[in-house]
Structure 1
Amino acid sequence: MSLNLPDKKGLNISDFSSTIKNDLCASLVTFLVALPLSLGIALASGAPLMAGIIAAIVGGIVVGTLGGAPMQVSGPAAGLTVIIFGFVQELGWGVTTAMTVGAGISQVIIGKIGLAPIALAISPSVIHGMMAAIGILIAISQIHIVFGVQPVGKGIENLFAIPNSVMNLNPEATFLGVFTIILLIVWSKLKSQRLRNIPGSLVAIVVATVISIAFGFDVPRVDLAGSLIESISLPVLPSANFGTFVAGIVVLTLVASAESLLSAVATDKLHSGPRCCLDKELTAQGIANTISGLLGGLPITGVVVRSKANVSSGAKTRLSAILHGVWLLIFVVFLPDVIILVPLASLAGLLVYIGIKLVNVNHIKELKRYNELAVYSITVFAIVGIDLLVGLIIGFAVALIRLLLKLTRLNVNIENQNDQWQVSITGTLTCIEVPKLTDHLNTIPPGKEVKINLALRYLDHSGYEALKSWQESYEKIGGRVVTDYLVENKEEEQASQSAPLVDNCIIKGVWAQYNK
């Protein structure tokens, strides 16, 4: 009996070392992207700045190891800043971390029972509207810190307070914040791919920090409030406001899950490696959020910006995401004195830039093309003008109403072609639409040849009876009616492509059943 051991030549050491090299380089780039973003997101969330680093470390190592999307990089995300800021202001940081734990446990349950793909059923107009609104809220709050002034509140309050902050600005802080924004814009437009491979966020923060030190600017800087170990804090359960606490867990679960899964799907489009497993990814996100909350960190989601940097830098396996978390851990343990040199105005400038970028013009054009711009706009204005949770509810309601109107719409088109009357009936024919159908059919002169083309999504019994009754009555006064199930409305055929054939087969079967 012999053992079939792999031949040494089959181990392909060259490919293995090349993969390790690529992952190592990509992890360093991703680490450099994640460091300033994690600090900035913590700043915008009203959380301890170390909470952003803790979340980035846990997201990199835990989700990188257990996740179902190998190329995705997880950590604190800009999309949750507004939510977290509101919870911190209302309930305190300790209770907010408890909500993160609750959301993490909920994500694990959802992932384990296989419901993760449901998150992808959320209307893109609502998701893009939410992200754009959050971007606007981030920008109008952090612009005050760019001016060296603290934000006054949230939403519209911050917007109306901008003129007052301009009147009381700190010149040195304003210079650093505006300089950071300009450098980020310029860096994004560079034609040199070699330079663009260096994270613009890192370049902007480093250059602004060096300038602030070289010229001795007296501006607020990052305050880590102790070492990594000292920053670890256990979650606290609320003594009151349990309804808000539970609602917060639900909101965090829904938003973090949707953002993570949509990010995983988007990351899949960036590479040709293994495809993501959504349930496995959501379970890993839940475990990471549970750990992050227990350690006093921010909530975690998959992040497109970091994932894109990871893939663009040549990552081949999940090792890159794991290592980026390791580098963050090493950096914050051994080089915390470097972090505390960063001016807050520069981080705020980075956040203003990120917030503006969240209002994605390409998304707006795409939604306009599919006539979903109204839902997007209403969601944006509701979140910015009222509240995130209320705005989301309004956005979902408008999207649902639009869907119901679209699904229940009946279109009747009547044309006279060579003395033959062509009647095209598309959409949904129910009892609600029977009066509309009857009004249109009654416009056809008596004694003519009529051809009815049906391309219906749904036909109920009252709709069938209305059509059948009209046909019998019309034929009694000398007319002739032929019913066809093929699509002759070219616009309908192009819009729904192969769907009408399926619909027509169903409608034809229903028609035959009613005719028995």
Structure 2
Amino acid sequence: MFKNLKNDLPASIVVFFVALPLCLGIALASGAPLFSGLIAGIIGGIFVGSLSGSHIGVSGPAAGLAAIVLAAIASLGYENFLVAVVLGGVIQLLFGILRLGIIGYYFPSSVIKGMLTGIGIIIILKQIPYFFGYDKDPEGDFAFFQIDGENTFSEIFNTISGIISGNYSLGATVIALIAMIILILWSNVLSKKGRIFQLIQGPLVAVVVGILFYVFTKDSSFVITDDHLVAVPVPDSFNSFIGQFSFPAFSAITKIEVWIAGFTIALVASLETLLCVEATDKLDPQKRVTPTNRELLAQGAGNIVSGLIGGIPITQVIVRSSANIQSGGKTKLSAIVHGFFLLISVMLIPSLLNMIPLSVLAAVLFIVGYKLAKPQLFKTMWKLGWKQFLPFIVTVLVIVFKDLLWGIGIGLVVGIVVILIKSYQNSHFLHIEENNDGSKFKMTLAEEVTFFNKGAIIKELDRLPDGSYLELDVRKTRYLDNDIIEILEDFSFKAKERDIDIKLVSERGIVENPPSYIEFFNLRKKTA
């Protein structure tokens, strides 16, 4: 694991700077204490990272659970809610033992790519207000409709209006532009000039420059106010640090509401984790495959520990995972080290962290978002045809305008509908052969024909003219649903009335006007 330290250490620093504001913001958006988000980030990095079989996935508090957590805390109280988090972890362990991790493999590639692209677009859109030092909402509010009544685009319009009227932070904007230049220059030019520029990552340099900018501009027109800085809780002493931990009230374990909340957390967290695993495996340059059942076990264990010491629920998170991959992370060491960075920083240097401008972190996330949602990907998906593009673009749009889970769910439904349509169309093909006596029709059934294909086959059979000749070829058919056999049986009766002759061609030979399709195909199954 340590042989890739030169790659994993710089990547862990980038993930740390991406994860820090997200841990705080998601906790705030969830109605939980800020410190609970940091607990979840630390446990997700160190504990889950150690147990997980994912090489490049990073776990921590997830925006997709914010609404669920907010409602659970409001109805149960925080200590009772922590019991639900622990129960959720136990249920995830059961999911892993029952080998339910395979569920993630049943999501179409187009939906997974749409999820990544949608997340990338959201990252970019959500960071625009921070980039200009305008939005004071908590970082991590990834839903379209925000907790302050605004939405993604109204915040951008407000930012534009603020810029026009001069109501924005000049210092935050300037340092954001400087950070963006550093990041682009580092990535495209300097990283190719020498080894030192590969060991020291651009985001770290951007953050250090941001801190120096804040320190040296306090008394100037470029001053960055506290509401545009990272806000880590600063304990007065070791006792006050320990006092930030909360513990579950297990006396509430008999309440049905706690069990419902626990099951909901387990279900949503597991689904989000499995989808993230699928997505990060696709992004992995080495194309390694994460053992999904082991991942559920790791996430379940992580949620048990997080709930026991006052943390909010944990999932594998695509924003941090993609930042890890794009920063050159090779093994799980980067995720583990980022967790240690979170732990050490909140214990030893919280005041220094509170000097980091949010606009600098917005610049870092801009780069992450762009790499996830490159314009070239839209062109590529379009060229693959509507069967790939439609689920992809629907997933992207719903994620941007609603939220992650809705986008994935509706994208999956669209993908299934596309499959049904193609199954409907590809169940058979029918062509006409002209001869001196009139028209001869030939229908060849596909390898698998199910009840989904009933409508198409009935339509084609009903269109046959009276007195025609039909050759029905089932030599390639390996599975024929009983519904289809009944359709053929019914058509055989109609064919006699309409003077239509039928020749059935199978691997067993040729049968003219078979008296019973049900008997024929049942005998065919027994013979096979």
TM-score (norm 1): 0.73
Corresponding position of 2:401: 385
What does the per-residue CA deviation read over 1:394-452, in whole Å, with 9 as the maximum and x for residues that have no partner?
33433333334444443423043888755333363544444213135x15974x69473
- CA distance, structure 2, for counterparts of residue 372 and residue 158 of structure 1: 27
- CA distance, structure 1, for counterparts of residue 333 and residue 136 of structure 2: 40
- CA distance, structure 1, for counterparts of residue 68 and residue 181 of structure 2: 29
Change (3 A) 1:398 1:204: same
Aligned-pair CA distance for 1:116: 1.4
Comparing 202-211 and 41-50, the one that deviates more: 41-50
- CA distance, structure 2, for counterparts of residue 214 and residue 50 of structure 1: 29
Change (3 A) 1:276 1:244: closer
- CA distance, structure 2, for counterparts of residue 26 and residue 425 of structure 1: 54
Corresponding position of 2:158: 164
Comparing 222-231 and 353-362, the one that deviates more: 353-362
Change (3 A) 1:250 1:376: farther
Comparing 431-440 and 280-289, the one that deviates more: 431-440
Q: What amino acid sits opposite 1:159 in the alignment? A: F
Q: What amino acid sits opposite 1:155 in the alignment? A: F
Which of 279, 297, 316 is residue 301 of structure 1 equivalent to? 316
Which of 60, 63, 70 is residue 81 of structure 1 equivalent to? 63
Contact 2:88/2:266, CA 8 A, preserved across alignment: yes
Aligned-pair CA distance for 1:334: 2.9
Which of 249, 261, 269 is residue 253 of structure 1 equivalent to? 269
- CA distance, structure 2, for counterparts of residue 445 and residue 33 of structure 1: 75
Q: What amino acid sits opposite 1:30 in the alignment? A: A
- CA distance, structure 2, for counterparts of residue 481 and residue 140 of structure 1: 63
Which of 102, 108, 112 is residue 117 of structure 1 equivalent to? 102
Change (3 A) 1:392 1:240: farther
Contact 2:45/2:59, CA 8 A, preserved across alignment: yes
Q: What amino acid sits opposite 1:72 in the alignment? A: I
Change (3 A) 1:359 1:115: same
Aligned-pair CA distance for 1:243: 9.9
- Say which SS state the counterpart of residue 412 (structure 1) adopts: strand
Change (3 A) 1:466 1:290: closer
Which of 199, 213, 216 is residue 214 of structure 1 equivalent to? 216
Corresponding position of 2:357: 343
Supply the RMSD in Å over aligned alpha carbons. Answer: 4.4
Q: What amino acid sits opposite 1:424 in the alignment? A: T
- Say which SS state the counterpart of residue 192 (structure 1) adopts: helix
Contact 1:177/1:348, CA 8 A, preserved across alignment: yes
Change (3 A) 1:131 1:87: farther
- CA distance, structure 1, for counterparts of residue 280 and residue 395 of structure 2: 24
Aligned residues: 466
Corresponding position of 1:512: 524
In structure 2, stretches of 5+ residues that fail to align are: 146-150, 236-240, 509-519
Contact 2:395/2:410, CA 8 A, preserved across alignment: yes
- CA distance, structure 2, for counterparts of residue 178 and residue 49 of structure 1: 29
- Say which SS state the counterpart of residue 173 (structure 1) adopts: helix
What does the per-residue CA deviation read over 1:217-246, in whole Å, with 9 as the maximum and x for residues that have no partner?
232222211245454333588999879945
Corresponding position of 1:140: 125
TM-score (norm 2): 0.71
Which of 360, 369, 373 is residue 359 of structure 1 equivalent to? 373
- Say which SS state the counterpart of residue 341 (structure 1) adopts: coil
Contact 2:323/2:368, CA 8 A, preserved across alignment: no
In structure 1, stretches of 5+ residues that fail to align are: 1-18, 487-507
1:438 aligns with 2:461: yes
Contact 1:412/1:423, CA 8 A, preserved across alignment: yes
Q: How does 1:258-337 map to 2 (within 5 A)?
A: 258-262=274-278, 265-266=281-282, 270=286, 276-298=290-312, 299-301=314-316, 304-305=321-322, 308=325, 312=328, 315=331, 321-337=335-351
- CA distance, structure 2, for counterparts of residue 300 and residue 104 of structure 1: 11
Aligned-pair CA distance for 1:97: 5.8
1:58 aligns with 2:66: no
Q: What amino acid sits opposite 1:141 in the alignment? A: K
- CA distance, structure 1, for counterparts of residue 42 and residue 379 of structure 2: 36
Contact 1:131/1:359, CA 8 A, preserved across alignment: yes
Q: What amino acid sits opposite 1:225 in the alignment? A: P
Q: What amino acid sits opposite 1:74 in the alignment? A: V
Change (3 A) 1:226 1:424: same
1:416 aligns with 2:428: no
1:224 aligns with 2:232: yes
- CA distance, structure 1, for counterparts of residue 407 and residue 329 of structure 2: 37
